[in-house]
Amino acid sequence: MSNWTKDSWKKFDIKHIPEYKDQDELDQALERLNTFPPLVFAGECKNLKSELAKAVEGKAFLVQGGDCAESFKEFNANNIRDTFRVLLQMSAVITSKMKVPVIKLGRIAGQFAKPRSSDTETVDGMTLNSYYGDSINGIEFTEKDRNPNPARLLHAYSQSASTLNLLRSFAQGGFANLRKVNSWNMGFVKASKEGKKYEEIANKITEYLDFMDAVGVDTQKVVDLNTVDFYTSHEGLHLPYEQALTRKDSLSNDVYCTSAHFIWIGDRTRFVNSAHVEYCRGISNPIGIKCGPSLDPDELIKIIDIINPSNEAGKISLIFRYGEENIVSYLPKLVDAINKHKKSVLWISDPMHGNTVKSSSGLKTRDFSSLLNETSKAIEILRSKGCHLGGMHLEMTGQNVTECTGGIYKLSDDDLNSRYHTHCDPRLNANQALELSFNIAEEMTK
């Protein structure tokens, strides 16, 4: 890995990393982070990479989901449990229809830093920094809150550690036991139409388990039925933070970003000569690259050559986010370039970020049908070119929010105000996320 160091990114073109007023204060916070334990273990990142390599072959499917931005305020056990639970439900639906395992990757336990289209925001004549995510500044429109505060990085680390701790307990401690498949269906989801459809699948799974027990397989002793592997991811945007958590694996001598199993490079920071691309060049984690309309396919090939020169399968996931209208003009060219250069990539649909619109009340929203349409078109395009959709990247929550319109409950613009809680982009609620999983799994098996 020639000339790469944890901080070689500093010599490249840096975008979307905030400036701090007090450099000493920032350095002190980073020094402390440097001494903190890693949040994930290298072996887990390797496992995820090999799972993703299976998805490249069509032998697994990725579900990556969680908040657009996690917040300090909405940090509590119920929110974590509900996101985890709906991801389990989505996985059960997809596996039962597609007959492949689902790789469960949360957009969680570290998704705190946001790139913004404008550095500043003006309200009633007052101009302040934009909100850059809770690890950087506060969302309240006051000078105090909007100033980047290094102490927030330590807070974000601590919240990530606690979140991950609970997720690990859920994944390994019995909550994710397939025998509980019926009990994941709770509250407002259970009463919904998706909840009823889910119940049919859950009942079938329970019947299979009963059958296996009856023929002498003790299903309680089969590890794969009692636990799940759950992985974490976030946009690796705040490079000073990521650098402080970059560690050498003592077993392999490979370098890993240990703030999450998987990090992705956002659509605004993926370009040749980008600091973010340089940072990702040196770490062994699987990496996502967001692909939006401004990405030139030739540039993407160059970026892939930088990050994955050996063309290792499972290393690169392309998370495309063109929008329902644009997907047909952009995705085919990207697929052609990847096929021409024989790059091994996992194709992931993010139908959220190209379909954001302003509602009549001025709130940002996304309509369920545009999400479904974008992904359905992507499935077709990929198929027509001998490839396949390998997963979904969703902004979603287990809560019953009203942030995206549409779905079988036909949420309208007028409904948005009732439970609009997001700190950044609008999320699917649990019912909408489940509904989308049914739809996508059906499209995939057509």
Beta carbon nearer to Co ion, 106 or 282: 106
H helix or E strand, kind and range, residue 152: helix 151-172
Which partner, Co ion, ligand PEP, none, binds residue 321 by CB below 5 to 8 Å per kind? ligand PEP
Query: Could you give the CA distance from residue 283 to residue 176 in angstroms, rounded to a whole number?
Result: 31
- Asked if residue 380 lies in contact with residue 341, where contact means CB atoms within 8 angstroms, the answer is no
**Considering the complex, what minimum distance in angstroms separates the CB of residue 346 from Co ion?**
20
**Considering the complex, what minimum distance in angstroms separates the CB of residue 21 from ligand PEP?**
25
Which partner, ligand PEP, Co ion, none, binds residue 115 by CB below 5 to 8 Å per kind? ligand PEP
Give the closest residue to 428 by CA, choosing from 65, 61, 115: 65
**Considering the complex, what minimum distance in angstroms separates the CB of residue 422 from Co ion?**
9
Question: Is residue 267 part of the contact set for ligand PEP (CB under 6 A)?
Answer: yes
Residue ranges binding Co ion (CB under 5 A): 68, 425
**Considering the complex, what minimum distance in angstroms separates the CB of residue 248 from Co ion?**
32
**Considering the complex, what minimum distance in angstroms separates the CB of residue 119 from ligand PEP?**
15
For every residue of 178-196, DSSP letters joined together read GGGTTTTS-HHHHTSHHHH
Beta carbon nearer to Co ion, 68 or 86: 68
What SS3 class is residue 245?
A: coil
Beta carbon nearer to ligand PEP, 267 or 374: 267
**Considering the complex, what minimum distance in angstroms separates the CB of residue 349 from ligand PEP?**
12
- Asked if residue 135 lies in contact with residue 13, where contact means CB atoms within 8 angstroms, the answer is no
The alpha carbon of 224 is separated from its chain's Cα centroid by a whole number of angstroms, namely: 23
Question: Is residue 68 part of the contact set for ligand PEP (CB under 6 A)?
Answer: yes
**Considering the complex, what minimum distance in angstroms separates the CB of residue 165 from Co ion?**
25
Residues 6+ apart with CB under 8 A from 394: 63, 64, 65, 107, 350, 351, 352, 428, 433, 436
**Considering the complex, what minimum distance in angstroms separates the CB of residue 306 from ligand PEP?**
18
Query: Could you give the CA distance from residue 363 to residue 295 in angstroms, rounded to a whole number?
Result: 28
Q: What is the CA radius of gyration of the chain?
A: 21
Beta carbon nearer to ligand PEP, 54 or 353: 353
Beta carbon nearer to ligand PEP, 192 or 269: 269
Q: What angle do CA 379, 383, 388 make, to 5 degrees?
A: 70
Amino acid at 296: D
Per CB under 6 A, the list member of 36, 75, 115, 145 interacting with ligand PEP is 115
Beta carbon nearer to ligand PEP, 29 or 389: 389
Phi and psi at 168, nearest 5°, equal -65, -40
Query: Could you give the CA distance from residue 48 to residue 312 in angstroms, rounded to a whole number?
Result: 13
Beta carbon nearer to Co ion, 111 or 285: 111
Question: Is residue 331 part of the contact set for ligand PEP (CB under 6 A)?
Answer: no
Which residue in the shown chain puts its C-beta closest to ligand PEP? 266
Per CB under 6 A, the list member of 85, 146, 247, 353 interacting with ligand PEP is 353
Which partner, ligand PEP, Co ion, none, binds residue 367 by CB below 5 to 8 Å per kind? none
Find the largest Cα–Cα distance for the chain: 73
Binders in 206-245 for ligand PEP, by CB under 6 A: 235
Please write down the long-range contacts of 80-84, taking CB distance under 8 Å and 24 or more positions apart: 80/108, 80/163, 80/166, 80/167, 80/170, 81/166, 81/170, 81/175, 81/398, 82/397, 82/398, 82/399, 82/430, 83/108, 83/396, 83/397, 83/398, 84/167, 84/170, 84/171, 84/175, 84/230, 84/398
Beta carbon nearer to Co ion, 316 or 424: 424
Question: Which one of the spans 46-54, 251-259, 264-272, 334-342 is the region binding ligand PEP (CB under 6 A)?
Answer: 264-272
What SS3 class is residue 17?
A: coil
Binders in 277-296 for ligand PEP, by CB under 6 A: 290, 292
Question: Which one of the spans 96-104, 219-227, 266-274, 403-411 is the region binding ligand PEP (CB under 6 A)?
Answer: 266-274
Binders in 138-177 for ligand PEP, by CB under 6 A: none
- Asked if residue 21 lies in contact with residue 148, where contact means CB atoms within 8 angstroms, the answer is yes
Tokens of 233: 């991811």
Which partner, ligand PEP, Co ion, none, binds residue 6 by CB below 5 to 8 Å per kind? none
**Considering the complex, what minimum distance in angstroms separates the CB of residue 68 from ligand PEP?**
5
**Considering the complex, what minimum distance in angstroms separates the CB of residue 299 from ligand PEP?**
15
Question: Is residue 110 part of the contact set for ligand PEP (CB under 6 A)?
Answer: no
Name the residues that contact ligand PEP, by CB under 6 A. 68, 115, 235, 266-268, 290, 292, 321, 353, 425
